[in-house]
Amino acid sequence: SQTIHQWPATLVQPVGSPLSLECTVEGTSNPNLYWYRQAAGRGLQLLFYSVGIGQISSEVPQNLSASRPQDRQFILSSKKLLLSDSGFYLCAWSGGGGGSQPQHFGDGTRLSIL
């Protein structure tokens, strides 16, 4: 069966520090991968999505970047964190290709910027 792992679960970082959040998927090949951010009590905002290795699409201009160095690995990064980067970050995967396949989410990383 397919599983998705996301870590760390919580993270407290000072303003201006770098960030690296990692997400890996097991049990499937060539998945579509997604990074979302969720503010408290709000919906999910799509940040990045990837349909293959090295293929990253950014949905909103921001202080973050994403990379997909391997088929089932998706990394969210920042060189210098801002206070506004605080939030709940969720990684998700769906079956490869286009269409309307459900997305499956990791447990999320709660990021607090001090």
Q: Which stretch binds another protein (CB under 8 A): 16-24, 46-54, 61-69, 72-80?
A: 46-54
- Report the chain's C-alpha Rg in angstroms: 13
CB of 44 to another protein, least distance (A): 4
Among 43, 54, 61, 69, binds another protein (CB under 8 A): 43
Per-residue interface string for the shown chain with another protein, residues 84-113, x marking contact by CB under 8 A: ------x---xx-xxxxxxxxxxxx-----
The answer to whether the peptide bond before residue 8 is cis (omega within 30 degrees of 0) is: yes
CB of 111 to another protein, least distance (A): 14
Among 23, 25, 32, 72, binds another protein (CB under 8 A): 32
Footprint on this chain of another protein (rule: CB under 8 A):
32, 34, 41-46, 49, 51, 59, 90, 94-95, 97-108
